[in-house]
Amino acid sequence: MAGEHIVIAEDDEGSRLLLSAFLEQGGYEVRVASNGLQALQLVRERLPNMVITDVNMPEMNGLELIRRLRSHHKMARIPVIMLSALTAPPQVLAGYAEGADDYVGKPVDLTVLGAKISALLTRSAGDRAPEGAGKVVLVQHAKGGVGATTLLVNLACLLEPLSVTGVGILDLKMGFGDVSRMLGVHNRLTLADLALQPVETVDDALFSKFVTEFTTGIHVVSGTERPEHAELVNVPAVQMAISRLQERYQYVLIDAPAAYDERAMAALDVADLVCVVTASTNLSLQSTADLLKLLRRLDINRARQVLILNHNRPDVSELNAAEVLGERLDLKVAYTPAFLTSGDEAKPLAATEPDSEALEMLGEFAAGLADRLARSASRASRQQALPRTGLPLKD
């Protein structure tokens, strides 16, 4: 795929020159580094379409370079080919274990390398969300206890009859997620298990084992069942789960944690809509105001946001929420005891009483979600058309 941008990390000058000349002759744009640290800096400055790296290099070797790439939400999907004279099975497997997509032994056969590059770039292009892929709705909060998960579960139940292909839910609250509890389902396999699977082995049949059915139209993928397994969940596993869910369902709802880490950022990157849930307490509103500032710094424009005030307790504050937040509210959900009791009983109100008056506002939001997403996409595309100054990636 001529015209694509490739970064080469190779400490041997002769090999560096040979590889760059070969790729440039093939029509690729090439930038070179003499070690992994320099290569990482080049990737941070501008994301390439591929990285080709040697294993043994000074300052930062190829294995550590891949480890850094795979741990960053912006860089995790970059295809990587490793080059090495170390071709014994344990050494090759070590490269794959860190996330290398392919491994080429030295001395390098340039014809073989060229074929592998072309195949990986084609596969990488196919990994991007195609036209018609499910829309991703991220439900976010700045402070726990605001009822974000309760709203997400009920929203899923309200969307299910409106969707042609159903609703997928991804729970990113590692080890403490309540989605499965509220739906009364048990996830035998989680993202922690998915992270152990080589990417190329995860086909639709295998991924199905990680999906748990609540109803025929609502399916759940869980982060982890135990908090101590949270560190096993990596960025590629999160990205893979989202992509697979998008292939299956019209809507993908993601229950995001309050804390921002690379996994949450990976979900934010692909979110078509970010629902920010807050409650009517001063602490919650002030924390949400900080979250909204963060979203602005992350370039999540207001067109992609829905600001929801959830009255999740009877002693509703008289605080002027919009004044504290500095933003208008898009949706107010009235206090409803039935939300809490139905969640405790693992029988979401929207599943048992979809016509309940308590669900009126949330039901209207669900009914208009398709139109809202279309408007958001239109505004976002106009925003992207404006000239911008690129900024380098940060850790």
In the chain, where are the structural domains located?
5-127, 135-384
- Taking residues 173-186, report their average pLDDT: 88
CATH 3.40.50.720 for the 135-384 domain, yes or no: no
Residue 128 pLDDT > 90: no
Given this chain, do its domains 5-127 and 135-384 carry the same CATH topology?
Answer: yes
Q: Residues in the chain, how many? A: 395
Average pLDDT over residues 201-222: 93
Is pLDDT at 260 greater than 90 in this prediction?
Answer: no
Taking residues 265-293, what's their average pLDDT?
A: 93
C-alpha to C-alpha distances, 190 to 5, 104, 226, nearest whole angstrom? 35, 32, 10
Q: Flag whether pLDDT at 24 surpasses 80.
A: yes
Contact 242, 269 (CB under 8 A): no
CATH of 5-127, one of 3.40.50.2300, 3.40.190.10, 3.90.245.10, 3.90.1150.10: 3.40.50.2300
Contacts of residue 42, defined as CB under 8 A and 6 or more positions apart, other chains included, come to 7, 31, 33, 48
pLDDT of 243-257, one tens digit each? Answer: 999 999 999 999 999
pTM: predicted TM-score of the whole model, two decimal places? 0.81
Q: Could you give phi then psi for residue 72, rounded to 5 degrees? A: -110, 130
In terms of Cβ atoms closer than 10 Å to its own Cβ (0-12, 13-18, 19+), residue 57 is buried
Torsion of CA 313, 319, 323, 328, to 10 degrees: 30
299-318 pLDDT, tens digit each:
898 889 999 999 888 776 66
Q: Is the pLDDT of residue 389 over 50?
A: no
* Euclidean distance between CA atoms 362 and 376, whole angstroms: 19
**44 C-beta neighbours (distance < 10 Å), count:** 16
List, for residues 346-382, the tens digit of each pLDDT value: 889 999 988 888 899 999 999 999 888 988 777 666 5
